[in-house]
Amino acid sequence: MRFTTSIALAALLGLSLTHLPEAHPCTSILVSKGASAAQAPMITYAADSHTLYGELIVRPRASYPEGAMRDIYDWDTGKYLGKIRQARLTHQVVGLVNEHQVAIGETTFGGREELTDPTAVVDYGSLMAIALERATSARGAIKVMAEITAEYGYASSGESFSIADAHETWLMEMISKGPKNKGAVWVARRIPDGMVSAHANQARIRQFPLNDAANTLYAKDVISFARSQGYFTGKDTEFSFADAYAPMTFEGLRFCEARVWSVFRRAAPSQKLTSDAVSGHRADKPLPLWIKPDKKLSNADVMALMRDHFEGTEFDLSQGLGAGPYHLPYRFRPLTWSVDGKKYLNERSISTQQTGFSMVAELRADLPGPVGGLLWFGMDDTASTVYVPMYAGLESAPPSWAPGAGTLGRFSWNSAFWVFNWVANFAYGRYSEIILDIQKEQRDLEGSFLARQAEIEREAVALYKESPERARAYLSHYSTTQAEATVARWRQLGESLLVKYLDGNLKDEAGKVQHPGYPSDWLARVAAADGAALAVGKLPGENAPDAPVVVTGYFHSRAELGELGADVPDDFPFGTDKLLYVAGNDKCARPPACCVQPTPDATNGKLLLPVPEAKDGCGARAVLVRLPKESRAPLFRAVLEH
């Protein structure tokens, strides 16, 4: 995805009219029907751009007279490209899924610059919109896209498309043939049942079967054209689309294929895929086009994959000096930078701060199209968004998610995009602490949507049998109610976070102000770098005070703990006791130790927390402190004499 000024894009997705080209922006995951826990194909899409305003557009069915023409505007520049024949009937489209449960996502791989055709009429964005308006299946969408580009030319650089319906999931890769050869060359491969694939701004289809139309489709001249241009000289069976049309680079590995690797290593840890294929420093064979996951993936599993920051790997963005004191898993642009003539990079993860919107499209063959086609739709950063259910049968977009609620240049409390950005950007300042509060609300909201999904859809199907329009009205009311309630709750969350973390302080659950200071691992770095200048002396006879313990989370139930509760005993008495989270500087991503009990100091009423010394290379482990629910006593740890 490479957005600039765009009239057509605003009409379909409601994106800002001030987009600028950007490298390595998007990520898409493809889950085949057999790899889905619900037997429902899924594709994801993160529309990442620093100049993207996200909205959800609902385009109703439409009919046109014979001979009607459609104007095409380039989605990246807003430039008028020309006209194509309009279809007599077009389908309803909600975001990037239509009423027949056809969904499309994309990532731009660019490829050979000389193949861009400035004379062509249809760009990649218009191509997606046209396919959704006209196709009733994934194969049908591929056919539409191939025919349109053959007739009118392809006006964009290389593109990878995720195309799915309720039965099949396909990866299609396409690039123009340049200004002297109208049309495009392309290959489309069906993701085998039971497999998962992904793409992230780098062409991925290499060799492919030449006589398997059930699983592989391609332009008839995809190989011969490469030969004519000098891109390929071997046997047809050896031809690689990616190597011919988008040769790999170091940045293609590290910024793009690394994201695919992170999906694969999380979905199939048993395969022990190392980073050798994507680090750019060690020669290794390319990643496979798809992998078999260790278990079938649920919609919640796929949402989690979209929130990846390379946690626990050598690329982990929450580690290193660039993460700052609060382990921020983002690096502000540019991706590469130089010092003394040497070039360096910042890693690029799936979850990134500049996401305009993202989606997980879930497609169910056992349900009517308006019910079975479901977008889990979120605004802004995938790690801190809430995925809200938006059905293919929506009559209109929820008000705060619809066009007009705001713009990229105008903040509005009535805009879902701005409310989610407000909370996320506040969190970036003290990420390791504030993200825990965000994740608690995120789990609660998404958990409620997932828990109610079957019930809502049963009622919608019953209504659909009586009247499809009544079912659409029911789903529209449900999605709108939940979407607007989510935005209202997120506003409240932002307000509570400001109160809790005001001026670098921390208010405990009793409202008492604490002064947490910086995390211990960061202070150690500061001491190592500037210790001589910052060292504090001690006068003769001066005693060291106790140091308050910084508590960054309070938990009253196992559900609130989520993944933090891995070491909490099953019989922990949440009815009478609570747990307090005290961060450490653990480099090994271990769950917090449970359950440390402080020692009361009879002389002053303080609670003294024993903190074991870290004796391994992992650093100090986070701990969960056990206290009676009614306890409000201050918590301290003793400072050693210096």
pLDDT at 282: 74
Which phi-psi region, left, alpha or beta, contains residue 438 (left: φ > 0; alpha: ψ -120 to 50)? alpha
DSSP classification of residue 122: B
* pLDDT reported for residue 1: 55
* Residue 269 host element (H or E): none
Residue 544: what pLDDT? 57
The pTM (predicted TM-score) of the whole model is 0.84
The residue among 58, 54, 45, 75 whose CA lies nearest residue 12 is 58
Alpha-carbon gap, residue 353 to 429, rounded angstroms = 13
pLDDT at 614: 64
Residues 6+ apart with CB under 8 A from 199: 27, 28, 30, 107, 109, 160, 162, 171, 260
User: Given this model, what pLDDT does residue 582 score?
Assistant: 87
Q: What is the pLDDT of residue 50?
A: 87
Name which of 121, 118, 218, 235 is nearest 178 in CA terms.
118
Q: What is the pLDDT of residues 236-291, one digit of tens each?
A: 999 999 999 999 999 999 999 999 999 999 999 999 999 999 999 876 789 999 99
Are 485 and 477 in contact by the 8 Å Cβ rule? The answer is no
pLDDT at 113: 95
C-beta of residue 37 within 8 angstroms of C-beta of residue 2:
no
Q: What's the Cα-to-Cα distance from 12 to each of 8, 31, 85, rounded to whole Å?
A: 6, 25, 18
pLDDT of residue 641: 40
Burial bucket for residue 220 (CB in 10 Å: 0-12, 13-18, 19+): exposed
Task: Determine the Cα–Cα distance for residues 110 and 105; give it in Å rounded to an integer.
Answer: 16
pLDDT at 401: 97
Tell me how far apart the alpha carbons of residues 575 and 562 are, in angstroms, rounded to a whole number.
Answer: 18
Looking at the DSSP assignment, which residues form a beta bridge with residue 359?
45, 377
Q: Which residues of 595-626 are buried (b: 16+ CB within 10 A; e: fewer)?
A: bbebeeeeeeebbbbebeeeeeeebbbbbbbb
Residues in Cβ contact with 353 at an 8 Å cutoff, skipping those fewer than 6 apart: 330, 332, 381, 424, 428
- Cβ atoms of 18 and 100 closer than 8 Å: no
φ, ψ of residue 313 to 5 degrees: the values are: -120, 175
pLDDT at position 7 is 35
- What are the residues whose beta carbons fall under 8 Å from the beta carbon of 503, sequence distance 6 or more? none
Q: Given this model, what pLDDT does residue 593 score? A: 87
Q: Which candidate, 369, 363, 366, 364, places its Cα nearest to that of 468?
A: 369
Smallest CA-to-CA distance from 219 within 241, 250, 248 is with: 241
The residues of the chain scoring below 50 in pLDDT are 2-24, 639-642
Q: Which amino acid is at 304?
A: A
Contact present, 608 and 598 (Cβ < 8 Å): yes
Question: In sequence order, which residues have a C-beta less than 8 Å from that of residue 578 and are 6 or more positions away?
Answer: 554, 555, 556, 626, 627, 628, 629, 631
The C-alpha atoms of residue 176 and residue 182 are separated, in whole angstroms, by 8
Distance of CA 315 to the CA centre of its chain: 17
- Whole-angstrom distance, CA of residue 477 vs CA of residue 389: 12
**pLDDT confidence of residue 615:** 66
- How far is the C-alpha of 245 from the C-alpha of 266, rounded, in Å? 29
pLDDT at 12: 45
**pLDDT value at position 269?**
97
The predicted structure's pLDDT at residue 541: 66
Summarised one tens digit per residue, pLDDT across range 87-125 is: 999 999 999 999 999 999 999 999 999 999 999 999 999
